[in-house]
Structure 1
Amino acid sequence: MLAATIDHYGQQALSLRQMPMPTMQPGDVLVKIHAASLNPIDFKTMAGDLKMLLPYTMPLIIGSDFAGEIIKVGPRVHQFQVGDKVYGRVQKNRIGTFAEYIAVDPADIAIMPKNLSYETAAAVPLVGLTAYQALTDYMHVQKGDKLLVQAGSGGIGTFTLQLAKTLGVYTATTTSAKNVDLVRELGANEVIDYHQTDFTQVLQNYDYVFDTLGGDNLAKAFQILKPGGQVVSLSGLPDPEFAKDYGLNIFKRLGLYVLTTKLRRLAKQAKVRYRFLFMQPSGRQLAAITQLIEAGKIKPVIDRVVPFENSQEALDYAKSGRARGKIILKIT
């Protein structure tokens, strides 16, 4: 099968090559992939940023989420059948969706929304689950809560704004001037042009911040929260609760235990909580997202669809940070 791979960490360019067909376990399904989406975790994986936490064998097929058709089911699989159109975010130790086929655990997939194409459905799993888990599992948002979503025009931002709207949450977001109309259409109640305005100067007494940027933006997020509020970050440093899940030794080996002191201090001073989100695949939660999409409450936002043979072009564009919504690879 054709796949987009790397041979070593730090490799800048994807290599399209023939790779062996996936090996199925008795509890797996084999999916013919029609489309996959690009995500920041793909760049981090290629760079080796996660290699101590998620070591991989080379050559490595890149890619984390997909949409496709089941062509074979293992003998222990009963909830899916050949011909089902499915989408999902694979486990972190089983990545490889930039390929024509993948073997996947049925627990990590769901039936595609009936009103979406393969290309549009492929835009959903990673960003959809990330937004869903941030708002429901970490923040436990309630109707009327106030939430800042950083980078509202990006893949995660566009989905989070729509999901927050369905939950009755008041949202503010940061974006550039050219994307103001887009994020308002998606449900943002307040929009800050980050080129012109520092969000800390106009926002206060917020319940939650969903940080997708890290750095100074994360450090400043604590300033706008009311006591008891919470910052949930994708781009910050892991917290002690993350260390419990993945092992304190890993936490120390990554050199992060000391580095989180600043974030813990900022949280303590503001009398708020800080959580690091490491999204988990979930077919059950994807099924809930499917219902929202089929009801017309959430619509994936796609910047462009790129042929598989031009995957490097898609990767370079994704790294530029200029995309409005998701970038999709059309595999087959």
Structure 2
Amino acid sequence: MNLLSVEHLNVNFHFKKRELAALIDVSFTLKRGERIAIVGESGAGKSILGFSIVNLISKPGYIHSGAIKLENKDITSMNLRQLQEIRGKRIAMIFQDPMMTLNPVITIGDQLVETIRSHTKINYKDARNIAIEKLRNVQIASPERRFDQYPHELSGGMRQRVIIASVLLLNPDIIIADEPTTALDVTIQAEILQLLLAICRDNGVALVLISHDLGVVSKVAERTLVMYAGQIVEEGPTLEIINDPQHPYTQGLLNALPQMALPGQRLNQIKGSMPSLAERPNGCAFHPRCPYATDKCRSEQPEFIYSGVSSVACFMVEDMLDEFNQHDEGLV
């Protein structure tokens, strides 16, 4: 049984008497202990998908249709009390900016203890010991001293470690990490990613890593979902997607990595920009930016097809596979 199943999920925003689609027919599964990544530019729908998994979409957004099943329980039909049992204990979330999560006027320790005691009947002393142990687990030096400090007294990397410690307090089955290294320098980014990877491996925790950077994803995720304009356009093993990207958008993301340009050369970029919810084009949403777009791409929505071990929604790939199969048949 899959730990998490997202089935034909559609999320809409009601804006000025219009229904704008933010997520369109999104489906994927997550096994216990598996590490997947959701990749795409800003506006692709990555964070909305992450918030949807824990049913935290704020108005005017709402889950229009589809199911999000934690084992055999549909999160979309749960009431607030049931959701509070899920959030933190079964599914925990790491946000981009730790200062948005941590209360600046409460000590680190009191915030961790409050999290434990809000879900359990543990006394303060035992909760304090658990919190200090979790701080030690995320490689925070002198955790007893850090316990009594306020968020502003810690560095950005240290605050992100505190957030990771906080999501581990209740031993969740799934961690959703939304751009967890965005505000950190490269060295600290690598440390945080290695820490997340080690924690998931050691504790059998499943990870959903949300990122715009395929370079970051390659170090952590076993499987990658590439999103564009609210839809998944390619899915497959991470190394396969990085070494042999099928969708033109995935190819563009990889070509835009800094290491793909020669020293002194301008960085590669995908022409144009992500369409807004109100300006989503007909057909394949990527066609205005795609160098291979045809009239069919502009009028019809491609279906998912298998290409090797990956699946991709692209007419160009479909045509190439058809030609390849016809060539093989001709040789028989």
TM norm structure 2? 0.29
Work out which of the two has the higher radius of gyration on C-alpha atoms and give 1 or 2.
2
1 or 2, which has the higher helix percentage? 2
